[in-house]
Amino acid sequence: MELSVEKQFKIRSFNEQVDSMSEAQAKVFLKMTHQQMVVQEATYNELLKPQWGIGGVLPEVLG
């Protein structure tokens, strides 16, 4: 997949930001970024559950 010019710029900007950090700063930044990614993924999953037809009340199949 080819990224838009805007996305490519964001990647370059991010890389330059990380390159200018000390190792300790980069580790903290990496941990914070990972946490944000996990929260974002969980949020998307919660928002998409109704679209996927999961997470709601299960039909009474066994009942």
Return phi, psi of residue 60, to 5°.
-80, 85
**Residue-level pLDDT at 51:** 83
Cβ neighbours of residue 22 closer than 8 Å, sequence gap 6 or more:
none
Over residues 1-5, the mean pLDDT reads 95
Whole-model pTM?
0.64
Q: What is the mean pLDDT of the chain?
A: 88
**Angstrom distance (rounded) from CA 52 to CA 38:** 20
Phi-psi region of 53 (alpha: psi -120 to 50; beta: other; left: phi over 0): left
Does residue 43 surpass a pLDDT of 90?
yes
